[in-house]
Amino acid sequence: MNEYIIGEYIKKLNINDILNYAKKENITMSENDATILYSYAKKYYKEFLGGNPNKILKEIRDKINPITYKEIYKLYIKYKMKYIK
């Protein structure tokens, strides 16, 4: 059920959604970083929900600003603990 709902949300996701959410969470993010995160979210959201995203996270870490990655990773862990079981 959660995977279906998230999948439907991901279909509608755009780069501005990522930038706006980062701003709401007080995360400074460039448009390039948002574009990279958008691309990975669209392509790999199922891995983040139920797979092992470690390889993907390492790729993202190497492509975006280290401070942005640290903050995004904290959010990932927070929501993983809360919603993904």
At residue 43, what is the residue type? K
| CA separation for the pair 60, 31 (Å, rounded) | 14
Of the CA atoms within 13 Å of residue 59, those in its CB half-sphere come to 10
CB under 8 Å, gap of 24 or more: what pairs does 28-32 form? Answer: 28/67, 28/68, 29/65, 29/68, 30/65, 30/68, 32/64
Q: pLDDT tens digit string along 30-72? A: 999 999 999 999 999 999 888 889 999 999 999 999 999 999 9
Give yes or no for residue 1 having a pLDDT over 60. Answer: no
Q: pLDDT tens digit string along 24-39? A: 999 999 999 999 999 9
Q: Where are the domains of the chain?
A: 2-83
Give yes or no for residue 78 having a pLDDT over 80. Answer: yes
Task: List CB contacts of 33: < 8 A, sequence separation 6 or more.
Answer: 64, 65, 68
